[in-house]
Structure 1
Amino acid sequence: MRGVTELLRPVWRTLPWPSLGAGSAAGLLLAGMARLYPENFDPWLALNTLRTAALAFALGLAFLLDDPARHTTATVPVPRFVRQSLRLALVAPIAALWWTATVLLIPAELRPPVGATTLEAGAACALALAGSAAWIRRSQEPEPGVSVAAGLLTVAVLAALLLPDDWELLVAVGDPGWDAAHGRWGVLLGAAVGGWLISTREPART
C-alpha cells in the first residue's frame, strides 16, 4: 500500500495531459455547437455529435498508458495491474465530470437517452484502454498512444460503414433496433474490460 501511495504524485505528473486535454476540449467544442446553434440541430445530429465527442475523448484516452520511463518504472515493486489501474483511477473522476458537462451541453429537447449514450461512450473508452494495455503487454513500446488511437479511429469508421444491419451499432433513437444495438454495446464493453484485465497481468517469465 505504501508503494502505491508513493506512486501517486509521480504518476499524476507523468499522465499525458496534452493528449487528454485535446480529446476533452474537442468533445466539449463539438457538444457546445449544439448549444450555440440549436436551430441547426435535430435529435439525430445531436446523438451523433455526442457519439463523436465520446470518440474524441476515447482517442485522447488511448494515450493514458504512455510512459516514456516505462522500462524504469517496470522495476518498481508494484504490479503492472496496480500501476495501470492507478492511472485510470486518477483520470476517472475527470472523465465523469467531462461526460456530464458534455451531455448537459446538448439542449434538453435534443438530448438522447443518457444511459444508452453513456454505455456507448464507456465502450469506446474501454476499447481504447484495452488496446493500449494489449499493445504494452505484447511489445516494448513505451508510448503506444498514436498507434492505438489510429487503430480505434479506423475501427470506428469501418464499423459505421461496413457493419451489416444485424450487427449495426449506430442506430437512431426510436429505431426498432435501438435496444438490440445497445445489447451489442454492452457485450463490447464487457469484452473490452475483460481484454484490459487480461492485458494488465504481468507476462509469464521464462
Structure 2
Amino acid sequence: MRGLTASRGSLTVDLVGPLWRTLPWRALAAAGALGLLVAATPAATGAEPAPWQTLLLLRGAALTGALGLAFLLDDPARHLTAPVPTPRLVRQALRVALVAPLAALWWTAVLLLAPSASRPPAGGVTLEAVTVAAFALTAAALAVRLTDEARPGPFVAAALLLTAVLAPLLAPEGWALFVQAEDPRWSAGHERWAVLAAAVCLVGAACGPEPLGRGRGRRPPLIRPDGP
C-alpha cells in the first residue's frame, strides 16, 4: 500500500512540468493585464473616484481575472491523457495549485492600484473575487465533465459574462450581495458570499472525477483487411 501511494505521488509530481507547459498562459496573461488596467484607471487619469466607483472597478477587475480562469481547464490533449493513472480531479487540482500563487499576487497588485482613499474593505471584496473565480473554475469543470470538448473555455467565459449581467438583476433583495461598503448590510451580505463560495467549491470538486460510465458502450472501429 505504501509503495502504491508513493508511486502515485511520484506520478503527480512528474505531471507538474507538463501541466505547467500546457496552461493557457495567453488567456491568463491577457485577462490579468486587462484587470490591472481596469484597477489602474483612476491613477492613470488622475481621477478621484467615489467609493462606489472604486468598488465597481474592483469588481470589474475580479470578473476580468475570472474570465481568464475560465480557460484554465482547457486541455488540447484531453483525450490522450484520459487513460493516465493520475485521476482527472488531481490533474485539475494541480492546474489550480500552479496558478493560485500568481493569482494571489495579481489580486494584491489590483488592490494596491485602487485608490486607497475610496478603497472598500479588502476582506469583503477579496471574498467576492474568490467566489467569482471559484464559479469560473466550477463552470469549467462542469463543462469538462458533461462534454467531450477539449477547450470549453470560450463557452465558459461567455456563460460567466451572462451570469455577471443577470446576477445583480435576479439576486434576491434580502441577500445583499451587491451592496456598497457603507451599506449596513455589507457584513451580512458577505456571510452569504462565503456560503456561496463554499457551495461552488463543493460542486467543482464533485465535477472533477471522470464519470464511471464514460467510454463504456463504445466499440473500437473495425479494421478491415485490404483487398477486394
TM bracket, shorter-chain basis: over 0.9
Is the 1:38–1:107 contact (alpha carbons within 8 Å) kept by the matching residues of 2? no
TM-score when scaled to structure 1?
Answer: 0.96
Of the candidates 52, 63, 67, which is equivalent to residue 59 of structure 1?
Answer: 67
**1:71 has 2:79 as partner:** yes
Q: Which residue number corresponds to residue 17 of structure 1?
A: 25
Q: Deviations along 1:119-161, whole A, 9 cap, x unmatched?
A: 0000000000000001111111111111111111111100123
Matched, 1:4 2:9: no
Matches within 5 A, 1:40-189: 40-189=48-197
Question: Distance in 1 between the 2:167 and 2:206 partners?
Answer: 24
Find the aligned partners of 1:35 and 1:53 in 2 and give their Cα distance: 15
SS of aligned partner of 1:3: helix
**1:193 to 2:220 alignment:** no
- Structure 2: give runs of 5+ residues left out of the alignment: 1-8, 217-228
Sequence identity of aligned pairs in percent?
51
**CA displacement at 1:38 relative to structure 2:** 4.7
Please state how far the C-alpha of 1:80 moved relative to its aligned partner. 0.8
Q: Using the TM superposition, give the Cα deviation of residue 14 of structure 1 relative to its aligned residue in structure 2, in angstroms.
A: 0.5
Query: TM-score normalized by structure 2?
Result: 0.87
Rg larger in 1 or in 2? 2
Distance 2:112 2:185 in 1: 26
* Equivalent-residue separation in structure 2 for 1:84 and 1:43 (angstroms): 37
The Cα RMSD (Å) is 1.2
Q: Which runs of 4+ in 1 moved over 4 A?
A: none
Cα distance in 1 between the residues matched to 2:30 and 2:173? 33
SS at match of 1:109: helix
Asked if the contact 1:128/1:148 (under 8 Å) is kept, the reply is yes
Give the Cα separation in 2 of the matches to 1:186 and 1:174.
Answer: 19
Aligned residue pair count: 206
